Amino acid sequence: MSSVSAALLDDVKKYIDEYYIEEGLSDEILQCPEHAKAYELREFDIYEEESRFIEAPSMEKYTIAKNVKDRSLSDLLDEVDDTFSEALFRLIDAKGMKDSQVYKRANIDRRHFSKIRNNPDYQPSKNTALALAVALELNLDETKDFIGRAGYALSHSSKTDIIIEYFITREEYDIFTINETLFAFDQPCLG
């Protein structure tokens, strides 16, 4: 018997229904002439809005691209951000947490966590990265940045990602409740 309430599951379902984007949905919409025209107008409005900022008099159009082009590879490599592992341990220290607190909250075993600690270039699975973000109680922007260091992103075409986003935006970080909810929606669990 699940300890996740029917009310919680109903709330998560509503959240999924609101944010879930099925693959190919945009293609289906664009096949209808009225919808395609509305989509085209919407895209044009977005382009116009962005253009207003790009063409601002105080902004030099190509300065950024030119500066990057003129820089050497070694200059660019000198500015590499923290790896996933480095960011993880920096966040643990910043939050005043112990390693054991984090791997227990993430539902990850000690040996797996030790591999992460001993390898600065460790590349986690997306589920492991998300479990650690939950364990660290990161907000949505911090989570996106954190999992981005491992090459991942949250997507509204993934029910798993939407469910994780649901809990993070509500600052509910109990991995077991999250996993029970993922299980209830036939999604892979974290940790």
pLDDT for the residue 46:
46
Tell whether 165 is covered by a domain: yes
Q: How far apart are CA 143 and CA 172, in angstroms?
A: 14
pLDDT tens sequence across 3-60: 788 899 999 999 988 888 865 455 555 556 565 555 555 545 544 544 444 454 444 5
Reference 102, options 122, 125, 132; nearest CA is 132
Q: CA-to-CA distance for 176 and 66, rounded, in angstroms?
A: 49
Is residue 27, in this structure, part of any structural domain at all?
no
Residue 92 within any structural domain of the chain: yes
Q: Determine whether 97 is exposed, middle or buried from the number of CB atoms within 10 Å of its CB (0-12, 13-18, 19+).
A: middle
Is the pLDDT reported for residue 155 higher than 60?
Answer: yes
If one counts every other C-beta atom within 10 angstroms of the C-beta of residue 56, the result is 9
pTM confidence score: 0.70
Are the beta carbons of 98 and 104 closer than 8 angstroms? no
Same domain, 163 and 136: yes
Say if residue 115 is in the same domain as residue 49. no
Taking 70 as the threshold, does the pLDDT of residue 63 lie above it? no
Q: Are residues 145 and 124 in the same domain?
A: yes
Q: Tell whether 142 and 173 lie within a shared domain.
A: yes
Per the listing, tokens 């919680």 go with 8
Q: Dump pLDDT digits (tens) for 79-127.
A: 557 899 999 999 999 999 999 999 999 999 999 999 999 999 999 999 9
> Is the Cβ–Cβ distance between 154 and 147 less than 8 Å?
yes
Both 133 and 161 in a single domain?
yes
Task: Note whether 166 and 125 are same-domain residues.
Answer: yes
Q: Does residue 159 form part of some domain?
A: yes
Same domain, yes or no: 94 and 62: no
Residues 8 and 48 in one domain: no
Structural domain harbouring 39: 32-80
Per-residue pLDDT reduced to its tens digit, 129-149: 999 999 999 999 999 999 999
DSSP string covering 43-100, please? HHHHHHHHHHHHT-TT--TTHHHHHHHTS-HHHHHTTPPPPHHHHHHHHHHHTT--HH
Integer Cα distance of 40 and 34 in angstroms: 10
